[in-house]
Amino acid sequence: MTKFVKQEGVALENHVITTVTATEPVKCSWQCVDTPLCFSVNVKILQTGWVTCELNNSSKTADPQDLMPRAGSQYQQMMEVDHCTVGECIYKDALPDGWYKFGSKLIKLFPERRTWGQARHSCQLIGAELVSINREDENEFISHLLGQIKTKGKDSNQIIAHWILDGTDSDVSLINGATYEEEDGVKSLYLSGSGAHATTPAVDFGKTSFTIASWVKLQSPVNYYSTIYSDWSHPVKFIVYAYSSGSLRFGGINNKEQFKPWITAGSPPIDKWFHVAAIWDRNANEARLFLDGQKIGTDPVDNGSYLKDNSHSVYDIGLKRDAGVTLRGYLRDLTIIGNALTGEELANITDPNKEPLDGVWIGLNDVSTEGTFCWPDDTHVTYTKWASNQPDNQYDYQDCVEMTIDEGAWDDTSCGRQLPFVVKRKPKLSINLNRPSGKPEF
């Protein structure tokens, strides 16, 4: 038996899913019980003695701001959704397939890990969108949902940028015929060796410890300068490349105008994938070069020195810009991390499931205009829940927003991180509600 409570002289505005006419007020309640997604009714007695019933897909519990005075109207709400807080109500409005009703939205946490762009694409495939959050209790509701996923601690490596190089990175530009091709079953950036290359936005990583890492497959014959990633036109900053003669180099120029670090080492394979990592460890005052997780070379760097910055706005994948020479082969998962990784940590970053999990994607972003945050459904940003000192656009490279699992607060972070995501969509009337049914009782 579903119980209803009544309130005279008010009505819930903005949530009417259908209006029906009935012979007496109690039949409005029956109609609500039998209507999927109905949680309350506005009843109005007509002069004929009949009544109109406005069936609402929300309640004054979920949307208290929409309960308005209305003369001659009676508001009826299902008892199940009355007098409960967000935390208590969360499972009362559970729908099939992990969706939860909140006000006029359906919300679901997807635990699989995606970049922000991939997550948004997944939403759009099901006619949905990354969630927008407009109120404190809505934020609280969603942070409750995050209890469904387990965290792996907060000692996360600070991923500044991660380009998968599979065609989903919106800020990677292909130049002179660079393409994305399937290679060994994985979509990768393909450069033919005759001018094709790609660019990323410049990333400010010079003044902290950092790691530049990528998967590479050089195709024979190997070009003399097979540049993996660089900013190497005057005034140069850094370069990571392979020679046709067989070694790898990590070079840079420091704030004292010295070519430091400068490491030439190793023997990368040809026609086979390898993993390269160039590291500047500012605590140990040492630069390192890793091949397939093994340290192959080091170079001491001066205490307090750092990579000299310039005003270049893009960096190059596959191009040694001063010489105009390009790499022949495939690249994948170019990552910049704001600390010096160990060999074991290098092994972990190649597996997205080992990246520590501290939050989930919501829709908020400042991808279009730096510092101007917006929701993907164009709702106005009327409510925010930033964590302390956020948003900080750290490394000039944080344009997507995660909700942190531990406190439910927001932090701008790199869009290329792979996180679970929260989705919202509009209810469809064909969805069956898992709630008690039966005739109403007062």
Q: How far is the CB of 238 from Ca ion (least distance, A)?
A: 23
Amino acid identity at 317: I
Q: Which two tokens stand for residue 77?
A: 């709400």
- The least CB distance from residue 349 to Ca ion, in Å, is 19
Residue 218 near residue 225, CB atoms below 8 Å: no
Min dist CB 203 to Ca ion, Å, is 12
Query: Please, which residue, 226 or 413, has the CB nearer to Ca ion?
Result: 413
- Write down the least CB distance from residue 391 to Ca ion, Å: 6
Beta bridge partners of 423: 108, 130
Residue closest to Ca ion, measured at CB: 393
CB of 392 to Ca ion, least distance (A): 5
The residues binding Ca ion (CB under 5 A) are 366, 390, 392-394, 398-399, 411-412
Least CB distance to Ca ion at residue 154 (A) = 14
Question: Going by C-beta distance under 8 Å and a sequence separation of 6 or more, which residues neighbour residue 220?
Answer: 270, 271
Cβ closest to Ca ion, residue 274 vs residue 373:
373
- Least distance in angstroms from the C-beta of 365 to Ca ion: 8
231 or 411, CB closer to Ca ion? Answer: 411
**CA-CA distance, 398 to 404, in Å (whole number)?**
15
If DSSP states are collapsed to H, E and C, what string results for the chain? CEEEEEEEEEEECCCEEEEEEECCHHHHHHHHHHCCCCCEEEEEECCCCCEEEEEECCCCCCCHHHEEEEEEEEEEEEHHHCCCCHHHHCCCCECHHHCEEECCEEEEEEEEEECHHHHHHHHHHCCCEECCCCCHHHHHHHHHHHHHCCCCCCCCCCEEEEECCCCCCCCCEEECCCEEEEECCEEEEEEECCCCEEEEECCCCCCCCEEEEEEEEECCCCCCEEEEEEECCCCCCEEEEEECCCCEEEEECECCCCCCCEEEECCCCCCCEEEEEEEEECCCCEEEEEECCEEEEEEECCCCCCECCCCCCEEEECEECCCCEECEEEEEEEEEECCCCCHHHHHHHCCHHHCCCCEEEEEEECCCCCCCCECCCCCCCCCCCECCCCCCCHHHCCCEEEEECCCCCEEEECCCCCEEEEEEECCCCCCCCCCCCCCEEC
- Of 243 and 386, the one with the shorter C-beta distance to Ca ion is 386
User: Considering beta carbons, is residue 281 or 358 the nearer one to Ca ion?
Assistant: 358
Q: Of 316 and 402, which has the nearer Cβ to Ca ion?
A: 402
* 92 vs 162, beta carbon nearer Ca ion: 162
**Angle at CA of residue 157, ends 155 and 160, nearest 5°:** 140
What whole-number distance in Å separates Cα of residue 136 and Cα of residue 28?
Answer: 32
Whichever of 184 and 370 has its CB closer to Ca ion, that residue is 370
Smallest distance, Å, CB 222 to Ca ion?
38
By C-beta, is 35 or 365 nearer to Ca ion? Answer: 365
Residue nearer to Ca ion on the CB measure, 316 or 399: 399
To Ca ion, the closest distance from the beta carbon of 119 in angstroms equals 17
Nearest to Ca ion of 143, 223 (CB atom): 143
CA distances from 35 to 5, 13, 78, 126, 188 (A): 18, 18, 12, 24, 50
Q: How far is the CB of 142 from Ca ion (least distance, A)?
A: 19
Smallest separation, CB 175 to Ca ion (Å): 25
